Amino acid sequence: MDLLNLGIKSIFIENMVFSYFLGMCSFLAVSKKVSTAFGLGLAVVFVLGITVPMNWLLNEYVLNEGALSWLGADFVAIDLSFLRFIMFIAIIAAMVQLVEMTIEKFSPALYGSLGIFLPLIAVNCAILGSSLFMAQRDYTIAEATVFGFGSGTGFFLAIIALAAIREKLRYSNVPDGLKGLGITMFITGLMGIAFMSFMGISI
Amino acid sequence: MSTETIEAPVVKESEALLSRRRRKFLTDPLNDDNPITIQVLGICSALAVTTQMKPTMVMALSVIFVMIFSNLIISLLRNAIPGRIRIIVQLAIVATLVTLVNEVLKAYAFDVYKQLSVFIGLIITNCIVMGRLEAFALGNKPYDSVLDGLGSGLGYSWIILAVAFFRELWGSGKVFGYDVMGAIGFESFSANGLMVSPVGAFIVLGFIIWVQRSKTGYVEH
């Protein structure tokens, strides 16, 4: 039940985009068409679901204070947590590469549709942000996995919704200075208000 | 030899420290080519940390520091980095600098460090940093790259400070924690909770972009 609760929380209440502003760059840049937004969203869910548990393992067995104790009593006092940023980003970059190669091998069709977005994901803040949140909040491995998929799904929903709105927006008459980024910020704000209505829900 | 090589604009060795060309590196990102409002980079942190002026200031300084030094280092190494692995090299250098900032903040400004939480770490994936490394530092001399980093950092800073100013003023009636609304005798000021929430950030930034783009005449198609 706790896991389900965490899943709901990470998808709706603490949505990556609307409450932490993570992944805004790609959220704004790749939301002009629903089909491309769908591809990016799918790739993000995929990569988040893999990297967050991976980074959890890394955090638990290498980086945390005393995490190296499985190597022997001499290593108990070592605290490598200052290496967290570098290790996390390295894992993320490596995993993205790996995922890209795997998809290319086993599903060329999916690779074709995700293609250009996969490498870009390595520098998507949502990915690194989720890993850092996971480390900060001391999740267990199960919670970390649910959190990874949940935040990915939250991003997926948000970017598809925005892309759908922007496709319709093309037919409306927006003031010059507001075209593009400006009006998108306002829409995102309004969507944020909508997502605020999920606040306080717990199962 | 073709004439093209002779006609190519050769930068003289004795160019002034702040020549007209170099001043453009500093001033362009402030307005006409602002990283946030025009290039749409680095929005994530611009919104997340701007509920109050103080953490925003720290964030701005951290980004300026990381930008200057990552630009400098990449520019010094630009002929030694193989093209295929440049992204990972850039990430490693940026991550090292960010770790440095993180540890310094943890040691000397712990309350701000707590407030910024993961967002210091997210400077690594801030698109402005990577964007300038890719677009500028990889192909230019170290000094120019430093100026470019400083310019983009300042352009980023003034926007996030402006957003933070309005959000803190309307959200809690304060600026830098100083009770402005109380000081000017506006006792009945009631704080607007929406400004402190994420929604306020989107809307304030939306307005800033509107005003800024109307002034520069930039239209996105």
pLDDT at res. A164: 92
* Bigger pLDDT: A173 vs A110: A173
Average pLDDT of every residue of chain B: 80
CA triplet B179, B182, B185: central angle to 5 degrees?
A: 150
Q: Confirm whether B13 is domain-assigned.
A: no
Indicate the pLDDT class of residue A114, thresholds 50, 70 and 90. Answer: low
Q: Confirm whether B2 is domain-assigned.
A: no
Q: What is the domain extent for residue B85?
A: 35-214
Q: What is the pLDDT of residues B34-68, one digit of tens each?
A: 777 777 777 777 777 888 888 889 889 999 999 99
Q: Do A178 and B207 meet the contact criterion of CB atoms below 8 Å apart?
A: no
Q: What is the CA radius of gyration of chain B?
A: 20
Distance of alpha carbon B11 from alpha carbon A196, whole angstroms: 55
Please return the burial class of A55, using the count of CB atoms within 10 Å of its CB with bins 0-12, 13-18 and 19+. Answer: buried
Total residue count of chain B as it appears in this document? 221
Q: What is the percent of chain B where pLDDT is above 70? A: 91
- B161: pLDDT strictly greater than 80: yes
pLDDT at res. B1: 40
Q: Which two tokens stand for residue A139?
A: 């999740």
Q: Confirm whether B172 is domain-assigned.
A: yes
The mean pLDDT of A176-191, rounded to a whole number, is 84
At residue B179, the 3 state secondary structure works out as: strand
Q: Confirm whether B178 is domain-assigned.
A: yes
The mean pLDDT of B185-199, rounded to a whole number, is 76
Q: Confirm whether B22 is domain-assigned.
A: no
Q: Does the beta-carbon distance from B198 to A25 stay under 8 Å?
A: no
Q: Does the beta-carbon distance from A176 to B219 stay under 8 Å?
A: yes
pLDDT at res. A160: 92
pLDDT at res. A153: 92
Q: What is the pLDDT of residues B131-160, one digit of tens each?
A: 888 888 888 888 888 888 898 889 889 888
pLDDT at res. B138: 83
Question: Torsions phi, psi of B178, nearest 5?
Answer: -90, 130
Distance of alpha carbon B136 from alpha carbon B45, whole angstroms: 22
CB atoms within 10 A of CB B170: 17
The mean pLDDT of A12-27, rounded to a whole number, is 82
CA distances from A32 to A24, A168, B130 (A): 14, 10, 23
Indicate the pLDDT class of residue B15, thresholds 50, 70 and 90. Answer: low
Q: Confirm whether B204 is domain-assigned.
A: yes
To probe the interface with B, which of A165, A181, A193, A199 has the most B CB atoms within 10 Å? A181
The mean pLDDT of B8-31, rounded to a whole number, is 67
**Among residues 6-25 of chain B, which lie with CB inside 8 Å of chain A?**
none
pLDDT at res. B70: 92
Q: Does the beta-carbon distance from B43 to A136 stay under 8 Å?
A: no
Tell me, yes or no, if B115 comes closer than 8 A to chain A by beta carbon: no
- B13: pLDDT strictly greater than 60: no
Q: Confirm whether B207 is domain-assigned.
A: yes
Of B88-97, B165-174, B209-218, highest mean pLDDT: B88-97
pTM of the model: 0.81
CA distances from A141 to A50, A52, A53, A55, A91 (A): 12, 9, 6, 10, 17
Smallest Cβ distance to A124: which of B125, B197, B219?
B125
| Alpha-carbon torsion, ordered A87, A93, A95, A101, to 10 deg | -150
At residue B175, the 3 state secondary structure works out as: strand
Number of helices and strands (H, E) in chain B? 11, 2
**In sequence order, what are the residues at sequence separation of 6 or more whose Cβ sits closer than 8 angstroms to the Cβ of residue B143?**
none
Tell me, yes or no, if B87 comes closer than 8 A to chain A by beta carbon: yes
Q: Confirm whether B179 is domain-assigned.
A: yes
Indicate the pLDDT class of residue B3, thresholds 50, 70 and 90. Answer: very low
- Could you tell me the end-to-end alpha-carbon distance of chain B, in angstroms, rounded to an integer? 43
Q: Domain count of chain B? A: 1
- B8: pLDDT strictly greater than 50: no
